[in-house]
Structures are given as C-alpha cells and as structure tokens.
Structure 1
Amino acid sequence: MNPKRLKFTNRNGVELAAHLYMPADQKPKFFALFAHCFTCSKNFSAVTRICRALSLNGIAALSFDFTGLGMSEGEFEESSFSSNISDLLDAAEFIEKDFQAPKMLIGHSLGGAAVLYAAMEMPAVKAVVTIAAPAYPGHVRNLFSDSVAKIEKNGSAKVTIGGRPFTVSKSFLDDLEQKPLDTFLKKLRKSLLVLHSPQDEIVEVSNAAEIYSSALHPKSFISLDGADHLISNPQDSEYIAEVIGSWSKRYVIEQEEKQENDTRGNQVFVRLSGEKYT
C-alpha cells in the first residue's frame, strides 16, 4: 500500500524519514525524487497527491523530510539551503543502493531551486521538474521580511511561517544569497520542465520566465492557470502528475532508449575487398 515508510541516514549522521510511492501493477518506468517546499514536509498535501498520482502513471516517487522538518531528525535552525541539496544527494544515493538511481528530480517552491542545484551532481538524472520555484533561493526572505533585520543583528530569530514557529539563523540567510540560479543553469545539461501559475502570489510567475530563459534547450514551460502556490486543489496535483508522466516519455524514457541503442564508442570490424585491398 502506498506510501511505504522508509528511513535513511544522511552524510551528517542524521536519520531522515521518507515515503516511497510504487506503481501497484507494473514495474516502475523509472524512479523520481521529490523535494518539498520551504518548511513543508513529505506529508504536505501537494506532495502526497502528486507522488501518488505519479505512481498511478507508472513512476516510482520518493519524497522525504529535509533535516529538521517533519519526521526527520536534526534541528531546522542548523539546516540551510546547502544542507537541503546534500540531503537530496544522499536520498538519491539511498534510492540507487536499494532500488535504482533516480532519473528525474521534482521540486516544489524552494525545493524546485534545490533540485536544480542537486541535478548538477547526479549524472543518472535525465530530467528536472520545478513547480512554483523561485529564480533565486533568497526569495524566501520575503516570507519573514519583518524579521530579517533582527536575524542579521542577533544571529537568529524566531519567525512564523504558515502559522508555525521556526528559528531562522543568519547563516541560513547568507547561504541563500550565495546560490543565484542564473549563474549555472546554462551548464545544467538536463531536460527541464517549468510549471508555474500566473496567479501565484507567493512566487510570481516572472520567476519561471527567469529560470526558463537562463536554461538551454531542451526545456518546456506549462502554465498552471488558476492554481495557487501551494497547489491546494487536488485537480491541479493530478494535472501536474499527468503532465510530468507524458513529458517524461520523451525526455526520460526515450532518452534512456537512445542511450542503450547508441553504438558510439564501440568497436566496429570492417572487411575490405577489391583490387586495391589485397
């Protein structure tokens, strides 16, 4: 029954909680790794709905809680955007060891920015999908802009995000500023799918335009017209999964088939005949 509860340990010795959604009646077409939004968790409604819908489309999906969030160990105050990236790398290593290396990364909001960075270090990944992602990670400062000065002065401060209290450190803010996406997107060399709503009031759709324009082809953009930032409507989650499933046929499955059939680099034996070749 989906999801299957799993745990793995990251490079810092912190145990992270994960959910694996497997297709019920077929072998997975491939494995995908899902990164949740800032201060969310693997149990967030959009995450569970999209991952479950992906499994119905034949794609195995692993979601997990970043360090200090959800059911994972660690302190959120000690985490950072960089630690999110390393958690993704450790999650990919876990999937590869016990199942199969992920061929696709999917990220929602700040998780979308994180998967773009993590993909650079995952050769097996063929495609990256961002959902309502900011063009630069520092965008999340807007969620607690009234407390930024206090964080800068005192080194940390307790802020309220989505009705829940979190302690945000200055090192967390500093780390965000060191990660501008446009400086490396042209080196990504992965197929990219950008999904964003023009009605998104948290991360404006202009962020999608920046990500799209900075990346090289193959790249695609899908407008999630009418959706909100948190993808709270179940129909939007199902639509996202259907789009990803259809898009992946060309940019993951067909790419795998081409690679398997590619004879470049293999030895070829040639026999020549005729008067000049006796």
Structure 2
Amino acid sequence: MATERFTFTGHSGDELAARLDLPEGPHLATALFAHCFTCSKDIPAARRIAGRLANMGIAVLRFDFTGLGHSKGEFENTTFSSNVEDLTLAAAELEKRGMGPELLIGHSLGGAAIIAAAGKIPQARAVVTIGAPFDPDHVTHNFGSSIDEIKEKGVAEVQLGGRGVKIGAGFLEDVSANRLEGALKTLKKSLLVLHAPKDATVGVENATQIFIHAKHPKSFITLCDADHLITREQDAEYAADVIAAWSSKYLELKPPAPPIGAPEGVLRVREADSGGFLQDINLGHKFHMQADEPVAYGGTDKGMTPYGFLSAGLGACTSMTIRMYARRKKWKLDNIWVDVKHDAMHAQDADGGHSKIDTFLREIHLDGDLDAEQRQRLLEIADRCPVHKTLESSANIKTVLADA
C-alpha cells in the first residue's frame, strides 16, 4: 500500500497532518476517515480499515484534527463544529487533487462529525459510523467532575484514556447546541451503522437512534463483543471486511477493463499479521481472500492453508474442464463435484523410500444420465485439466527480489 503524507490548512489556519493511503493498482474511489475523540489518525482500527479499503482500490485520507497527533493548533480551542469544518476542508483538499471523497467514515465522535459534515460534501455517496453517539454532547459524560471546573475557569484538564486532555468551555457549549436529527433526516446518502452491544463508552442505544432517524437506504451491523476503540485485531478486521463489502455495493465500483489479450493479472499476497501467518490475497480489485495456518501450527485458522489453495485450484480446474467437454458433447451431465485430498507420501522408488512426494487424491462425482463409456471418457478428460498438467510436470518458477 502506497502512502502520501502531507499537510493542509485547518479551520483555524493551523496545518493539519494527513495521511493518504493509496491503492497500488487502479484508483476506483476515495474515502475520508474521521478518528475518535482525542484519538489520532494512526489508531489500529483506522489503519486496518484504511488498508483493507486501499486493497480494493479505495484511497483513504486520514488526518489528525486540530491540536491532536501531528497537527498544529490548540485542542482546547476546538469544538465539535470546528471538527466538522476540518472535515469539509479535508474533503476540499481531496477535491483539489481530483479525488473528491465518495465514502465518509467516522469513529465515535468522529462518526457524529461525519454525519454533520456529510451535507457539506456533495460528492459523497455513502456514510459509515462506528460506535458513534447520537448526541455529540454524549462525550461530556466522560468529563465527570471536571465539567464544573471547565465552566468556571474556561478550560480544564480532563483524564481520558489514562492521559490528560485540556477541554475548553467553548467545546461544552458547542456540543450541547448540536443535534444530529436534522442532518440524518436530510442525509440523502446510504448509511451503515456499526456498533458493539457491549460498548461501555457509547451505549448501543445511540446506534438505535441514529438508525431510526435516518432514511433508507440504511444498514445496521453489530460488532458483537468489540470494545469502543475496536482495539482487538479480529474486531478491526471484521469491521474492515463489512465496510469493504457494503461500500462496494453503494459506490458501484467499476474497475477499468483490462487490455485486450492481457493475462489474469498479478496476484498479490501481503502479510496481514507479522506476529502470525495470516495473509491477505488480492487478485486485482475484484477478489480478496485470506490464507493462514491452523492454530496448532502458530496460525489463527482464518483462511485456507497454502496447500488448501493448491488443492482448490486442482479441484476447480478439474470440474471446469469436465464441464466444457460435456457441454461440447451435449451429454446429460447435471452436476459435478470434486473432492481433493493432499498428502506428502513416502516415495518408495526414490532414495530407498526416505524422500517424500506430494500426492493429491482426486475423487470426481458425476451426476447425470451418463453410460459407463461416457463416465470413463470424462475421467480421462479430467487429466487434461491445465492445473493437473502443471502439477504433474516440472513447473518453472522464477524468483526475483524487488527493488527496495
């Protein structure tokens, strides 16, 4: 995944730090991501969601709101409305680059801000909220006794997530005055609401209110037992998969047609977890899969093993080859299924039986009005499967090291 880092001017004139994650293939759409309250653009959930969308051709812009992360300015002088303004400026920056955002994603208070900003970003077609509050002032529940001090002194330090954050009185006044009912009723964009029922920071009833006040098309997906910040890797991956699948429908992504005579393309395998063996597999922007190893071998068992994919290729190619032959002969073959089992068997005729050779047991099931001769012929045709021939012969594999 290619990344471009840059700054743009925020609502107060301060420079805001942005990160644009770009597809390594054709650019099909752009998303704008709003991070959670007092968080940053680089929290794990944001990184994983951005990475998955970039893999399917959607560029994602993440930036730190004023006074947070690597952005300039004083956070104590910001408000909910200023966050909304920063989002519209980020969208304008993307528009200058010819990448106006079609997809808007917001996490926690960023989700409320993205709803409020959506009406000011006309090119956006779809909106996603993750653990978002229905009322922006819900965030003040976390301020506790500091609220009185903020009102009295104009600013006070609040302990959030184990660290002190200065909150200004203007923030309290602004979140109290902002409501999402109007923005939701006039959204005119597809909406996906993601929320965890056990979210202890923003209760799931907030998702209910967001969903009720929005008009169709709208969808609600539960994040099961995820926490508010989506800190667990598997929860972030699930959220990313849901957003990717849902957004592909509403954005109507259409990859450019390949040149005439072009091969299938490059299949890219990218490590998804450096601590395990999980791999993201992408063929262009249409197909995404995962490969893994069983838990017993140090994996997480979230996808087929490499040999599982190899067996799948043999089985699929076998079935297709038989179907093409039967169709050409106009034989009454109703259905085909192929069971493939892989094993490494001892080769009795090599090195005294100490070496091993890979063996694929392929059991072909043919359902239809076929006589014995036709069935035998189709069994012979199975051996003409291109993948079968590749596995039987000595394939030529060339390996090179990419430039650093």
Taking structure 2 as the reference length, the TM-score comes to 0.61
Counterpart for residue 152 of structure 1: 151
Counterpart for residue 46 of structure 2: 47
Structure 2: runs of 5+ lacking an equivalent: 255-404
Counterpart for residue 22 of structure 1: 22
* CA-CA distance at 1:99 after TM superposition: 3.6
The one-letter code matched in structure 1 to 2:16 is: L
Q: Distance in 1 between matches of 2:16 and 2:175?
A: 22
Q: Distance in 2 between matches of 1:62 and 1:115?
A: 13
Counterpart for residue 193 of structure 1: 192
Runs of 4+ off more than 3 Å: none
The one-letter code matched in structure 1 to 2:162 is: G
Structure number with higher helix proportion: 1
Q: Distance in 2 between matches of 1:241 and 1:50?
A: 5
Counterpart for residue 100 of structure 2: 101
Q: Distance in 2 between matches of 1:207 and 1:2?
A: 36
Per-residue CA shift, 1:89-133, capped at 9, x if unaligned?
A: 010011111241000110000000000010011110001000000
Q: Is the 8 A contact 2:8 2:16 kept in 1?
A: yes
The one-letter code matched in structure 1 to 2:47 is: T
Q: Is the 8 A contact 1:28 1:58 kept in 2?
A: yes
Per-residue CA shift, 1:53-100, capped at 9, x if unaligned?
A: 221222110100000000000000111111100000010011111241
Counterpart for residue 227 of structure 2: 228
* CA-CA distance at 1:9 after TM superposition: 1.4
> Residues 88-127 of structure 1 correspond to what in structure 2 (within 5 A)?
88-127=87-126
SS of 1:148 mapped into structure 2: helix
Counterpart for residue 287 of structure 2: none
Q: Is the 8 A contact 1:28 1:59 kept in 2?
A: yes
Q: Distance in 2 between matches of 1:165 and 1:250?
A: 42
The one-letter code matched in structure 2 to 1:186 is: K
Counterpart for residue 7 of structure 2: 7
Between stretches 36-45 and 52-61, larger displacement belongs to 52-61
Q: Distance in 2 between matches of 1:77 and 1:218?
A: 37
Q: Distance in 1 between matches of 2:83 and 2:238?
A: 27
> Residues 120-139 of structure 1 correspond to what in structure 2 (within 5 A)?
120-139=119-138
Counterpart for residue 237 of structure 1: 236
Root-mean-square deviation (CA), in Å?
A: 1.4
Structure of larger gyration radius = 2
The one-letter code matched in structure 2 to 1:47 is: A
Alignment of 1:61 onto 2:54: no
* CA-CA distance at 1:11 after TM superposition: 4.1
Structure 1: runs of 5+ lacking an equivalent: 256-278
Per-residue CA shift, 1:197-242, capped at 9, x if unaligned?
A: 0111100111000000000000000000011100001122122121
Between stretches 138-147 and 180-189, larger displacement belongs to 180-189
Counterpart for residue 262 of structure 1: none
| Percent of residue pairs bearing the same amino acid type | 51
Between stretches 230-239 and 70-79, larger displacement belongs to 230-239
Q: Is the 8 A contact 1:31 1:100 kept in 2?
A: yes
Q: Is the 8 A contact 1:7 1:15 kept in 2?
A: yes
The one-letter code matched in structure 1 to 2:239 is: I
Counterpart for residue 274 of structure 1: none
> Residues 66-85 of structure 1 correspond to what in structure 2 (within 5 A)?
66-85=65-84
Structure number with higher strand proportion: 2
Between stretches 111-120 and 238-247, larger displacement belongs to 238-247
Q: Is the 8 A contact 1:57 1:242 kept in 2?
A: no
Per-residue CA shift, 1:136-170, capped at 9, x if unaligned?
A: 10000011122111111222211111122111111
Q: Distance in 2 between matches of 1:27 and 1:9?
A: 28
Counterpart for residue 276 of structure 1: none
SS of 1:217 mapped into structure 2: coil
Number of aligned residues = 254
